[in-house]
A and B are shown apart, each in its own frame.
Chain A
Amino acid sequence: SYVLTQPPSVSVAPGQTARITCEGNNIGSKSVHWYQQKPGQAPVLVVYDDNDRPSGIPERFSGSNSGNTATLTISRVEAGDEADYYCQVWDSSSDHWVFGGGTKLTVL
């Protein structure tokens, strides 16, 4: 089955840029989605199809995807961005949806 690997944690100071990676075999050929989840809440879609944002998501959230790595970039990080972030793809070989293990973003 297809595996997505994320770093367990990323830390960044307010106002700086956070980059959260998601590694998978030839992930650049897939469409990657990213979710933000705060404690006790349901996940929220923040980036879909590699680098599109749903309405209401700030432009500070962007994505890229190439080769074996997809990246979620959060510019000008704010305290309110502190959350768990998950990447996701659809694996065509198994017809299953797959999530990465999640990354806890800490704002210092």
Chain B
Amino acid sequence: QVQVVQSGAEVKQPGASVKVSCKASGHTFSDYYIHWVRQAPGQGLDWMGWVNPKSGGTKYAQDFRGRVTMTWDTSITTAYLDLSSLRSDDTAVYFCVTKRSGPNNGFDYWGQGTLVTVSS
């Protein structure tokens, strides 16, 4: 039984950083990636990037390069999303999701989402 559980809601000031965690279990992660997707209030889904649990390698969407870091802690099978220099338009629900490698596989197991609010 695959489970993906994220950390709780955060409120941050503009310019600050936020770290969201994502505990994954039930997979053998050798063939899975952890992706991050965000959704601003009332808006669509926006892909942010992935981390490869096996190698630690990452790929970030162009829009977030320079502000985002994705990591994986093998000892506790937990992924982390670090987003810095927060702005008001970073207010969104952030989802982590597991995905088997390859373009023919969809994003199959989603976390419940973490609301990050950026406000002064």
Contacts and interface: CB of A to CB of B under 8 A. Distances in A.
Contact of B62 (A48, A96, A99, A102): A96
A54 B44 CA distance: 22
Interface in B48-106: 59, 61-62, 95, 97, 103-106
Contact of B59 (A48, A95, A101): A95
B44 A86 contact: yes
Contacts of A12: none
Interface stretch (A17-25, A38-46, A74-82): A38-46
A34 to B, nearest CB: 8
A49 B104 contact: yes
Contact of A33 (B37, B106, B110): B106
Interface in A39-73: 42-45, 47-49, 54
A45 B45 contact: no
Interface bin, chain A: 20 to 34
Contacts of A97: 35, 47
A1 B104 CA distance: 20
A42 B111 contact: yes
A97 B47 CA distance: 6
Contacts of B110: 42-44
Interface of B: 35, 37, 44-47, 59, 61-62, 95, 97, 103-108, 110-113
Interface of A: 1, 30-31, 33, 35, 37, 42-45, 47-49, 54, 86, 88-90, 92, 94-102
